[in-house]
Amino acid sequence: MAAGHPRGTTSRADDNGPEERRLVFPPVRNGLDYLIDVIERLLPPVDADGRVGEVSDINLKYALLHLHAGAEVLIKARLEQEHWSLVVQDALPKNRQANGVTRAQFRRGHFKTIGMEEALDRLKQIAEINLDDHRDALTQLTETRNALQHYGLNQTAAAVQSQATAVLDFLITFIHEHLRADLPREERDQVDWALHEMRGRLGRLSDFVRGRMALVAPGLRDQVAKVVACPVCAQMAIVIGTTPIICRFCFGHWKGPRDAAIHYSYNQAKPPTYGLDQRHQHGREVSVHFCPECDEGALVFGAITAAAPERITFLCFACGTDFDQQLCTGGCGNLIRRDAEAAGTGLCPKCAERRRREEEEESLWKILDE
């Protein structure tokens, strides 16, 4: 936990009554406390000689759990600013006989709260705050949290650090843009103080991610046409066309190219954070097909490489062929092999076969006509 940081205010209930120590954690401060804890846990330890060590598994685990808790608290705090009932699952009674949730019950915490997805929907519809650009990262965080609670952690420190840095970045902006202004003066001052503390630490964490990427980047530079974003850590750090496929940043790995292709297509919406390219990519349709070049089921429709981040292409994770513009000229929509293009036919085997039969028929009619 951060030292020297003002925690929940303690207050006296009543000057006449017996002294009572009460902890008051307003939601925004509470969320910030979680985030500060997350950064503390994710910073790699440095020993007396300045050697950077590994973040422990237990710290990774609690960093993810607390990051999720912090994100939920902060997003709901904004809903609460709109109206307290917006964070309650069934605020209104379903029928006249049933009871809804009263403000008094809400204050005591006697209610079922909504989940992350629902909170994002309500923010968008009711508070007109659209967080769709971050929905994937937040949903993935929820999924990782759930997996962690049921099956344990299955990710490397670097992957967690990269994922978490992106969410932390977003949350700090979110507090600034949507939460801070409407806080009571005293709470706002405390929040500003905590944000100031955080930014310095987050800088160290971002530096770590950038530093690691800088370490990895030279090894990727001469093969950028085969470098794509890792589905685990979102860094532009996996080289396709090799077996096994390993992420240079987080060491996430896949048995074969098909596994990597499927995972990539499933996770494509996640934007890279501090990769070779920092542009966000959204709304891509990504699917996996059989490759006409090597016959492996590892051809990704909708891939983006580090070589050309602005271009969405067809990329085989097995043989590494980039099928950009290599569409069959027969109008069937199939991709064609490089040698077919080189041979100048520009046709897929099916269309080539059809063309051959058509030509045969034509010459047959010619013979019959004569």
Residue owning tokens 């939601």 = 27
**Interacting span for Zn ion (CB under 5 A) from 11-19, 44-52, 201-209, 343-351:** 343-351
Shortest distance in whole angstroms from residue 150 CB to Zn ion: 23
List 33, 72, 293, 322, residue binding Zn ion (CB under 5 A): 293
List 27, 252, 272, 309, residue binding Zn ion (CB under 5 A): 252
x/- contact string, 169-208, with Zn ion (CB under 5 A)? ----------------------------------------
Position 334 contacts Zn ion (CB under 5 A): yes
Shortest distance in whole angstroms from residue 247 CB to Zn ion: 3
List 77, 316, 335, 340, residue binding Zn ion (CB under 5 A): 316
Local structure of residue 52 (DSSP, 8 states): B
3-state secondary structure of 290: coil
List 224, 307, 332, 341, residue binding Zn ion (CB under 5 A): 332
Position 239 contacts Zn ion (CB under 5 A): no
Q: Which helix (H) or strand (E) holds 206?
A: helix 185-216
CA dist 170 and 134 (Å) reads 8
Query: In this complex, which beta carbon is closest to Zn ion, that of residue 120 or of residue 328?
Result: 328
Position 240 contacts Zn ion (CB under 5 A): no
Position 229 contacts Zn ion (CB under 5 A): no
List 291, 306, 315, 340, residue binding Zn ion (CB under 5 A): 291
Position 230 contacts Zn ion (CB under 5 A): yes
| Sign of the C-alpha dihedral computed for residues 225, 226, 230 and 231 taken in this order | positive
CA dist 353 and 53 (Å) reads 61
Residues within window 122-161 making contact with Zn ion, judged by CB under 5 A: none
Q: Please give the structure tokens belonging to residue 282.
A: 């959204």
Position 328 contacts Zn ion (CB under 5 A): yes
CA dist 26 and 73 (Å) reads 10
Position 247 contacts Zn ion (CB under 5 A): yes
Size of the site for Zn ion (CB under 5 A): 19
Residue 254 β-bridge partners: 245
Local structure of residue 97 (DSSP, 8 states): S
* Residue pair 172/164 in contact by the 8 Å Cβ criterion: no
Crossing angle for the helix pair 57-82 and 116-125, to the nearest 10 degrees: 30
List 319, 337, 341, 346, residue binding Zn ion (CB under 5 A): 319
Position 250 contacts Zn ion (CB under 5 A): yes
Q: Which helix (H) or strand (E) holds 38?
A: helix 27-42
CA dist 141 and 353 (Å) reads 50
Residue 52 β-bridge partners: 46
Contacts of 21 (CB under 8 A, 6+ apart): 10, 12
Q: Using CB under 5 A as the criterion, which residues of the chain lie in contact with Zn ion when the complex forms?
A: 230, 232-233, 247, 249-250, 252, 291, 293-294, 316, 318-319, 328, 330, 332, 334, 348, 351
